Amino acid sequence: MASVTTTATTTGSPTPWVRLRSRLSFDWVGLVPFFAFVAVFLIFPALSIVVRALTDSAGNLTLANIAGLTNPVITLAYQNSLLVSLITAVSGSVLGGLLAWAITLGGLPGWIRSAVLSFSGVGANFAGVPLVFAFVALLGRIGLLNQLLKPTGVSIDPQTFLYGFWGLCIVYTYFQVPLMVLIMVPALEGLRKEWREAAENLGATQTQYWRYVAFPILMPAILGSAALLFANAFSTYVTATALLGAIGQTFAVTIVVANQFRTDTFGDPGLGFALAFSMMVVIGLTIALYTWSRRRAERWTRKVE
């Protein structure tokens, strides 16, 4: 019987069923764990956040949680979080971009490049309590800086710059820079020597080469990493609480969210879900802005007729 079916299908073009089956073949099996993972850990929690942000404890539809976001404490936390994220995305991009440029095209010895890359791999993931501890040990009241300054009689009070807005900016920049390096090094290495030489051969100065050739080619990567840095800072929690401690209980959005779910304080989980929902919106907008600008920046990679 089997042989009969085979002969039937081998004559003429494959039947729709055969084509469908080949399209659903083993190529797709590998994706199953991925889709399952996304469903369980991304789509489901996101939906549940949205639902809970819009319902009260009894399960009735309400906008009260969302309205709670206009609370001045929360708007201030938002302002802080957005500003810190923006500032460290820019400082990380600029400093990391320059560092990446220096170790790829800057003509430095090879060992510096591998040393910086190894450090970046670690530094980009160095956050939370250890990172804060390192900064306090360096810049704190009895930190290394003040120890060194002791003979001069000068003492720098960390309260004014470390345990606050700028402290957060400084500490975040520590992991933003290496993250930028990790993203930009491959992009910079993708710049072909021929492009620079062709530009030079055609009479262009270094500046003209960067302006008309290198920078436009790097633009998609720069936009991508800036967006990633922004989201990275915006969603940072442990580092912020560790640095700011008790004084920072309402300083950043992530801290305010976490506080709503703690049992030892007067938390409001409904507000917490509304805040989480609003953070999803911010990240979503970041991705949308990034996608749009990236599409503009890399028009030349797509087929246009």
Partner 1 sequence: MTFLELSSLRKEFGAAVAVQDFNLQVEKGEFVSFLGPSGCGKTTVLRMIAGFEKPTRGRIIIDGKDVTALNANKRNIGMVFQQYALFPNMTVADNIQFGLKVAGADGGLRQKRIKDMLGIIHMEQFANRYPHQLSGGQQQRVALARALAIQPQVLLLDEPLSALDAKIRVNLRQEIRSIQRQLGITTIFVTHDQEEALSISDRIVVMNQGVIDQLGTPLDIYNRPQTSFVASFIGSLNVLQAQVVDRSAGRIRIDGQELTTGERIGSEADTVTVAIRPEAVSLNHANGHPNSISAAVDDIYFLGSVVRVRTKLKDQFLNVDMFNNPSMALPARGEQVLLSFAASAAKVL
DSSP-assigned states of every residue in 167-178: HHHHHHHHHHHH
- Work out whether 210 is an interface residue with partner 1 (CB under 8 A): no
- Work out whether 246 is an interface residue with partner 1 (CB under 8 A): no
Report how far residue 73's alpha carbon sits from residue 80's, in angstroms, rounded to the nearest whole number.
Answer: 11
Give burial (CB, 10 Å; 0-12/13-18/19+) of 303.
exposed
Secondary structure class of 261 (helix, strand, coil):
coil
Q: Which part of the chain contacts partner 1 (CB under 8 A), choosing from 19-27, 90-98, 204-212, 269-277?
A: 204-212
Phi, psi of 55 (to 5 degrees): -130, 155
Q: How wide is the angle at C-alpha 88 spanned by C-alphas 84 and 89, nearest 5°?
A: 115
* x-marked contacts with partner 1 along 281-300 as a string, rule CB under 8 A: -------------------x
Contact with partner 1 (CB under 8 A): which of 54, 89, 199, 257?
Answer: 199
DSSP symbol at 61: B
Nearer to partner 1, 56 or 200 (CB): 200
Nearer to partner 1, 23 or 193 (CB): 193
DSSP symbol at 209: H
DSSP symbol at 214: I
Place of tokens 């991508």: 224
Contact with partner 1 (CB under 8 A): which of 12, 107, 151, 203?
Answer: 203
* x-marked contacts with partner 1 along 127-166 as a string, rule CB under 8 A: ----------------------------------------
Nearer to partner 1, 172 or 209 (CB): 209
Nearer to partner 1, 9 or 208 (CB): 208
Report how far residue 293's alpha carbon sits from residue 281's, in angstroms, rounded to the nearest whole number.
Answer: 18
Q: Which part of the chain contacts partner 1 (CB under 8 A), choosing from 1-9, 25-33, 136-144, 205-213?
A: 205-213
* Residue ranges binding partner 1 (CB under 8 A): 192, 194-195, 197-205, 208, 212-213, 216-217, 300-301, 303-304
